[in-house]
Amino acid sequence: MNTTTQKKSNGNGASRALPARGVDWLHNPVFNKGTAFTGAERDALGLRGLLPPHVQTMDEQVRRVMDNFRSKSNDLERYIQIVGLQDRNETLFYRVVMENLEELMPIIYTPTVGKACQEFGHIFRRTRGFYISSEDRGQMESILQNWPTHDVKVIVVTDGERILGLGDLGASGMGIPIGKLSLYTACAGIHPTQCLPITIDVGTDNETLLKDPLYTGLRQKRIRGDAYDALIEEFMVAVEKQFPGVLVQFEDFGNSNAFRLLEKYRDRACTFNDDIQGTGSVALAGILSALRITGGKLRDQRVLFLGAGEAGIGIADNIVNVLVEEGLTPAEARKCVWFVDSKGLIVKGRGNLTEHKLHYAHDHAPCADLFSAVKSIKPTMLIGASGQAKTFTHEIITTMASLNERPVIFALSNPTSKAECTADEAYTWTDGRAVFASGSPFFPVNVNGRVHVPGQGNNAYIFPGVGLGIVCTGARRVTDSMFIVAARTLASLIRENELAEGRVYPSLQRIHEVSLAIAIAVAEEVYAKKLNTQPRPADLPGYIRSQMFKPEYPDYTKK
């Protein structure tokens, strides 16, 4: 077969050039079926003799993969094994992940992906994704042509400066775009060949990495200022030219760049920042679900944040936007939201506040720490987005319990080692009265004979469905209203029996139902705002469903 003349779809519409000869089929993860190639395919494709004679079903392959996965001694070894499968056989990888999402999501994403990024240079096996460095200035447009597919719909890009709560990991942050795009496919069915992970390597200020002989990135301090901005501008222009209309998701940029890059490009390109908007949306959904348990109204809440970075501000902005929709002025809405950062309570009169913090600086006496702020503000909801472990102490949580019959406590920092408190601490210290959610998964907790199931505020509930709605409509821009719609949709999907268990998010087993519902709601918002470039189909839900990738092997003997 000739790669220049024949192409075949592998799944739901995306296509790539077919491998040229027998062994090439086994080395191409998009087309490889491994031991599942049929006898007829082995004859037609020149594979006879290159595989063991028994033709396995996909179910048999899944069993083998999961048996091997569960035999590994630790989560990092499980990560290495499962991404190795992704590098060999993408269709089988997604079948395995989709069928075992609750078990595998903590491995392919938080918390294990954080450890994988820290060890990236040491566990590196096979390249995946696309690397652009500051040495590529002036030639990004040409090097992007090296990517093997042209039908790219979604890009996740990082510069590695703020990987989860782990800080600057430079080029080792590539594990994050890879993991995020795996969830775009596994949760919402965006075809894997339409996903492109990118790391922009501008150096790192992490001295440990710079001294590590196995570090895979540039051995230099981060470039900043005008040189950095020029590099990002060249990147944004180049990807739009190479992949017109592509959705660009900014991921794990440092605070100093994240907010201003979002403001710079949100009206120029189809782009969003998941750490700001995605986190804001999933947390808002959790808050709306929590109110179904506590019985309160959003306008009556006092929400206190620990951490005033991308995640905290993103959540607060979404709360304010919803309250404005409900009739409050922006100033009135912001009075419901308070912040504590590393210098204490953010209040008017405090010097050197960044613009995004100034919006939430209120007239109030200073409070030096979180505990004094809790006693003074008397919040109904306490939300951690600080990246600082164990900061929700026993005295803070018990104080929240003394102030509220059902205190809402969200410890959202990732990975697990950075969580402000554990589920066990939140439930035990409140005698089981807390409404709890976290960024990383925790096991259910038994308090006084009652089992409480903690919610995981995982952005995977939001961004895959939002992305699917954007891709299916060809949206020109991404708006904050799309994330509000997504949050409301997610909150509406939580069932009464799930609320009774203490959950504020649906089970991950329902993630495909969730992503489809969010995609439909986002698509409706795109059409309502006339941001679409694709005509509205007669059957919108049916059309979106038809675009979702299904991990099934095609028959390569058929033309």
Residues 209 and 263 grouped into a single domain: yes
Residues 142 and 260 grouped into a single domain: yes
Residues 252 and 281 grouped into a single domain: no
CATH, residue 212: 3.40.50.10380
Residues 333 and 400 grouped into a single domain: yes
Residues 17 and 40 grouped into a single domain: yes
Average pLDDT of span 449-458? 95
Q: Is residue 548 part of a domain?
A: no
CATH, residue 86: 1.20.1370.30
* Residue 13 in this model has a pLDDT that exceeds 80: no
Average pLDDT value for the chain = 95
Q: Is residue 547 part of a domain?
A: no
Q: Is residue 556 part of a domain?
A: no
d(CA 324, CA 443): 36
Q: At what angle do helices 255-265 and 225-242 cross, to 10 degrees?
A: 50
Q: Which of 73, 98, 123 is the last residue of a domain?
A: 98
Q: Which one is predicted more confidently, 17 or 204?
A: 204
Q: Is residue 116 part of a domain?
A: yes
Average pLDDT of span 102-131? 96
Tell me the two tokens of residue 160.
């590695």
Exactly one of 33, 79, 94, 109 is catalytic; name it.
109
d(CA 147, CA 127): 13
Exactly one of 33, 115, 153, 180 is catalytic; name it.
180
Residues 118 and 254 grouped into a single domain: yes
Q: Residue 500 to residues 14, 102, 452, 505: CA-CA distances in angstroms?
A: 42, 20, 9, 12
For the question of residue 530 being annotated catalytic, the response is no
Q: Is residue 322 part of a domain?
A: yes
Residues 11 and 145 grouped into a single domain: no
User: Whole domain around residue 473: which residue ranges?
Assistant: 461-536
Q: What is the tens place of the pLDDT at every residue in 460-497?
A: 999 999 999 999 999 999 999 999 999 999 999 999 99
Q: Is residue 354 part of a domain?
A: yes
Q: Which of 457, 491, 525 is the last residue of a domain?
A: 457
Average pLDDT of span 58-76? 98
d(CA 423, CA 479): 33
Q: Which residue has the tokens 């006898």?
A: 39
Q: How many other C-beta atoms are found inside a 10 Å radius of the C-beta of residue 176?
A: 27
Residues 330 and 469 grouped into a single domain: no
d(CA 158, CA 329): 35
- What pLDDT sits at residue 18? 87
d(CA 301, CA 224): 40
Q: What is the tens place of the pLDDT at every residue in 351-402?
A: 889 888 999 999 999 999 999 999 999 999 999 999 999 999 999 999 999 9
Q: How many other C-beta atoms are found inside a 10 Å radius of the C-beta of residue 556?
A: 21
Half-sphere exposure (CA, 13 Å, Cβ side) for 524?
Answer: 12
Residues 292 and 427 grouped into a single domain: yes
User: Which residues, 6+ apart, have CB-to-CB distance to 438 below 8 Å?
Assistant: 410, 411, 412, 419, 422, 423, 454, 455, 456, 457
Indicate the number of domains in the chain.
4
Residues 465 and 446 grouped into a single domain: no
Q: What is the tens place of the pLDDT at every residue in 73-109?
A: 999 999 999 999 999 999 999 999 999 999 999 999 9
Q: Where are the alpha helices (DSSP H) in 129-224?
A: 140-144, 175-188, 207-210
Q: What band does 14 get if pLDDT is binned at 50, 70 and 90? A: low
- What pLDDT sits at residue 88? 97
Q: What is the tens place of the pLDDT at every residue in 264-300?
A: 999 999 999 999 999 999 999 999 999 999 999 999 9
Residues 255 and 379 grouped into a single domain: no
Q: Which of 98, 128, 156 is the last residue of a domain?
A: 98
Q: What is the tens place of the pLDDT at every residue in 412-445?
A: 999 999 999 999 999 999 999 999 999 999 999 9
* In contact, 408 and 380? CB cutoff 8 Å: yes
For the question of residue 131 being annotated catalytic, the response is no
Percent of the chain with pLDDT over 90: 93
Residues β-bridged to residue 337: 303
Residues 413 and 401 grouped into a single domain: yes
7 class by beta-carbon count within 10 Å (0-12 exposed, 13-18 middle, 19+ buried): exposed
